[in-house]
Chain A
Amino acid sequence: MNRAFLKIITVFWKDMLTELRTREIIISVLVFALLVLVIFSFAFSIATDMTETVAPGILWVALTFGGVIGLNRIFAVEKENACLEGLMLCPVDRAVIYWGKMAGGFTFMLAVAVVVTPVFLALFNLPIFLPRLALVIVLALVGFASVGTLFSALAVNTRARDIMLPILFLPVVVPVIVSAVKATGPVLVGGPWGDMLTWLQIMIAFDIIYLVVATLVFEFVVEE
């Protein structure tokens, strides 16, 4: 197996193990996202004809803002005992560190989505089995994790990192959030693939752009 890929897995494994011990990211994001869903479910009594316009926004507000909380923690763990310096001393390309951390961030957010989405569907009386929604979520979370990991690394060395990350992250991921909302609507009402195809293509394009750009600039973000 490719040596760089093994190192990515090693960084990912370390983050998983740390999170399994502390559950800092998963629990905080999960509580926030579920709370948002419950509040919205009381605030809106969604009529069937409003499902396509309102419900997707509620799901993506919960996942996006919950995701910001989780992304903030991705590099915070590396600040303890200056572990980031230990990581930077390792004889690996900086991109390896980026991809390992990004894979961890994606997995944490996906785990949260796996719990939050069925609750969302149940609260809004929607069908539980929606495989196309899983595709939308995966594509959107790849975009979130790719940009979020980069900005988490940037924000971790700033004093106001909790504020800095959303300020940097949210404007950049707007295309992905809008596409995810637009692609989720047809899925919830059982619309045709054609209605969501353009939005899926936009998400794929942005995911690729984010991943390529973030891989290239990560070195400059983490060095000093």
Chain B
Amino acid sequence: MNKEIPASSNRAVEARGLEKTYGEQYALRGIDLTVDRGGCLVVFGPNGAGKTTLLKILSTLVKPSAGSVWLDGIDIREKPSQIRRKISLVSHQTFLYDNLTVFENLKFYGKMYDVADLDKRIREVISWVRLESRLHDRAGTLSHGLQQRASIARAVLHNPSILFLDEPDIGLDPHASKITGDIIDGAGSDKRTVVMTTHNLERGLELADSIVILDRGKVVYEASRSELSGEDFRKIYDRYTVTGG
């Protein structure tokens, strides 16, 4: 199989035949998906559908049992470090050290990513998430919502071109959710490519360019956002998922 996708390709994310098994249990079964540069793919599905596993594979945290992933045309198995510079993951876990301040956390991650002019960049991203007044507070003393904002600042610190978001809106107030939307739209940079999972159908449709529904590890439905209305999609979602969310 080809390791590289032609450089002219407009695809930022491409997965073919992705499978993941844990023992006898299938978490993913033959997932194929593509996202064009600057596009936003929203993955819906009930609990246990395989959404988080899919994002962990795409973000190089977990190796697939079968299948391949190319990010910006590069096979993630071939050059994982190079790929990791281009991507970021926002999960429901914040990846922040509770006993370090927000600034120290960002400084740590910034150094790991070789971010140039780091102090200036930290102040820039912290202003996007409106956390300036809490910059020198320990991360563990922040509320979940504020920690999630700090986590978003961490995720965009190195200006990734591809952003993976695993239910980023959990625990966020509408104001903070809007900040997430702004970040997805590429605050301070070109529009990012986004792959996002969510249970929130309205919110997901609002942000999506294309959608897929996962159920029991399989893609059971996929469509372009322009083909759907919100009401139709609710019916489709209920029809294609076992539990209806």
Contact = CB atoms under 8 A, between A and B. Distances in A.
B29 interface: no
B108 interface: yes
Given A83-B95, A86-B154, A91 B100 contact: no
A89 interface: yes
Given A18-B97, A86-B154, A223-B63, A92 B91 contact: no
A82 B154 CA distance: 14
B130 interface: no
Interface residues of A: mostly helix, strand, loop or mixed? helix
Given A223-B63, A224-B62, A89 B99 contact: no
A216 interface: no
Interface residues of B, number: 32
A94 B111 CA distance: 16
B128 interface: no
Interface stretch (B35-43, B81-89, B210-218): B81-89
30 contacts: A3-B114, A10-B111, A10-B112, A14-B100, A14-B108, A17-B100, A18-B100, A21-B99, A21-B100, A22-B99, A81-B94, A81-B96, A81-B97, A81-B98, A81-B147, A82-B91, A82-B94, A83-B97, A85-B61, A85-B95, A86-B96, A86-B154, A89-B89, A89-B95, A90-B113, A91-B83, A91-B113, A92-B81, A92-B112, A223-B62
Interface of B: 59-63, 81-85, 87-89, 91, 93-100, 104, 108-109, 111-114, 138, 147, 154
3 shortest A-B CB distances, which residue pairs?
Answer: A86-B95, A82-B93, A91-B84
